[in-house]
């Protein structure tokens, strides 16, 4: 499996970069009763990719989430993290080689990590923050809510210099509860997609023919979006359902390629610009 997949849209190169693999409990991915059940579940999923997204925008390179690093496979890696570290260690398994870390793969693309202008973190879970070490000079953006109410993150693994810009969503948006314009050309916006964590956010690239929706962990797969299925790991199920409805209405209005972080088919959909089928049911259950 190639680790980098690329699409070009309106002169902008967009990459899916595979920064390793994670396994979760099956009850973590499917609807379930939450953390206690997930801890007790003996069944693991297959290896799921950890995608990092890179947009070579004319105003500067944007990296969405930062993937994993090889040290996560050391058995003592989570020991600094107290209860959240213990839970994380017991509900996730990782397969990561050093050459898959985002800093090395950016160089393969001819991009020096120090040249990255923006790093947008969809949320503060470890498989999204563990590549932060490559970006001490970037403008790192986290939603204010995520920063103030972290859920299931392991802050002792963050770089000591980590002090992101906390953003609010003050621009009005038809589908979401506000938006934050990232680029001045209006093509890249950040929207709140709460539920998986309190302050989860997603990034949208608005193209002339299709939009790309970088969804983080709103769902594990596109199928879950179509089925309006909230995953087992979710701090606020009602918020997660509202988020899925907002994304679904967005996708029905604009042809949109939906790209969750752990969907094995995300890169293929990026390359083929395969949009969410417009005819899926809108019935609210
Ligand atoms: Zn997560």
Phi and psi dihedrals of 211, rounded to 5?
-110, 150
Asked whether 130 and 67 are in contact (CB, 8 A), the reply is yes
- Separation of 152 CA from ligand 1 center, angstroms? 8
Residue with tokens 């359902």: 241
pLDDT digits 0-9 by tens, 51-95: 999 999 999 999 999 999 999 999 899 999 998 899 889 889 999
Q: Is the pLDDT of residue 190 over 70?
A: yes
Q: Are strands 92-95 and 60-64 parallel, antiparallel or unpaired?
A: unpaired
- Separation of 122 CA from ligand 1 center, angstroms? 9
pLDDT band at 284 (very low <50, low <70, confident <90, very high): very low
- Separation of 125 CA from ligand 1 center, angstroms? 5
Asked whether 54 and 47 are in contact (CB, 8 A), the reply is no
The mean pLDDT of the chain is 94
Q: What is the pLDDT of residue 250?
A: 97
- Separation of 11 CA from ligand 1 center, angstroms? 31
- Separation of 217 CA from ligand 1 center, angstroms? 5
Asked whether 68 and 127 are in contact (CB, 8 A), the reply is yes
β-bridge mates for residue 55, sequence order: 14, 62
Q: Is the pLDDT of residue 103 over 80?
A: yes
- Separation of 188 CA from ligand 1 center, angstroms? 22
- Separation of 280 CA from ligand 1 center, angstroms? 26
- Separation of 182 CA from ligand 1 center, angstroms? 22
Q: Is the pLDDT of residue 184 over 80?
A: yes
CATH dotted code for 4-272? 3.60.15.10
- Separation of 162 CA from ligand 1 center, angstroms? 19
pLDDT band at 32 (very low <50, low <70, confident <90, very high): low
Domain coordinates in residue numbering, the chain: 4-272
- Separation of 196 CA from ligand 1 center, angstroms? 7
β-bridge mates for residue 24, sequence order: 92
- Separation of 94 CA from ligand 1 center, angstroms? 14
- Separation of 28 CA from ligand 1 center, angstroms? 11
- Separation of 232 CA from ligand 1 center, angstroms? 11
Residue 24, C-beta contacts closer than 8 angstroms, at least 6 positions apart: 44, 45, 48, 91, 92, 233
Asked whether 61 and 71 are in contact (CB, 8 A), the reply is no
Lowest-confidence pick of 59-73, 195-209, 269-283: 269-283
- Separation of 262 CA from ligand 1 center, angstroms? 10
Q: Is the pLDDT of residue 35 over 80?
A: no
- Separation of 123 CA from ligand 1 center, angstroms? 7
- Separation of 192 CA from ligand 1 center, angstroms? 15
- Separation of 236 CA from ligand 1 center, angstroms? 13
Lowest-confidence pick of 26-35, 82-91, 105-114, 127-136: 26-35
pLDDT band at 1 (very low <50, low <70, confident <90, very high): low
pLDDT band at 33 (very low <50, low <70, confident <90, very high): low
What tokens appear for 265 in the block? 């088919």
Instruction: State what percent of residues in the chain have pLDDT above 90.
Output: 82
Task: Identify the DSSP state of 139.
Answer: E
Q: How far apart are CA 90 and CA 72, in angstroms?
A: 13
pLDDT digits 0-9 by tens, 108-117: 999 999 999 9
Q: Is the pLDDT of residue 2 over 90?
A: no
| Number of H-type helices and E-type strands within the chain | 9, 13
β-bridge mates for residue 9, sequence order: 12
Segments of the chain assigned E as strands = 4-9, 12-24, 48-57, 60-64, 92-95, 116-120, 139-143, 165-167, 180-181, 188-192, 201-206, 211-216, 256-260
Q: What is the pLDDT of residue 26?
A: 86
């Amino acid at each position: 499996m190639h680790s980098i997949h690329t699409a070009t849209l309106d002169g902008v190169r967009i990459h899916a970069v595979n920064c390793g693999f994670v396994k979760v409990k099956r009850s973590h991915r499917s609807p379930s009763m939450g953390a206690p059940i997930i801890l007790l579940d003996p069944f693991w999923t297959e290896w799921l990719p950890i995608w990092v997204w890179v947009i070579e925008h004319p105003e500067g390179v944007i990296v969405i989430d930062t993937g994993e690093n090889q040290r996560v496979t050391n058995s003592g890696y989570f020991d600094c993290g107290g209860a959240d570290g213990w839970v994380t260690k017991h509900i996730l398994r990782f397969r990561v080689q050093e050459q898959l870390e985002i800093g090395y793969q950016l160089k393969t693309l001819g991009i020096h990590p120090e040249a990255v202008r923006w790093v947008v973190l969809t949320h503060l879970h470890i498989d999204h923050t563990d590549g932060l070490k490559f970006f001490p000079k970037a403008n790192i953006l986290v939603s204010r809510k995520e920063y103030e109410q972290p859920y299931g993150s392991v802050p002792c693994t963050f770089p000591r210099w980590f002090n992101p810009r906390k953003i609010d969503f003050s621009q009005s948006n038809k589908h979401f509860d506000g938006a934050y314009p990232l680029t001045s050309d209006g093509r890249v916006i950040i929207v709140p997609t709460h539920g998986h964590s309190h302050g989860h956010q997603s990034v949208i690239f608005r193209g002339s023919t299709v939009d790309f929706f970088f969804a983080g962990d709103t769902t594990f797969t596109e199928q879950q979006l179509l089925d309006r299925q909230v995953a087992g790991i979710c701090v606020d199920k009602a918020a997660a359902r509202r988020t899925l409805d907002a994304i679904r209405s967005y996708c029905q209005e604009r042809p949109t390629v939906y790209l969750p972080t752990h969907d094995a088919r995300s890169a293929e959909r990026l390359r083929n610009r395969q949009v969410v089928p417009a005819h899926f049911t809108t019935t609210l259950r």
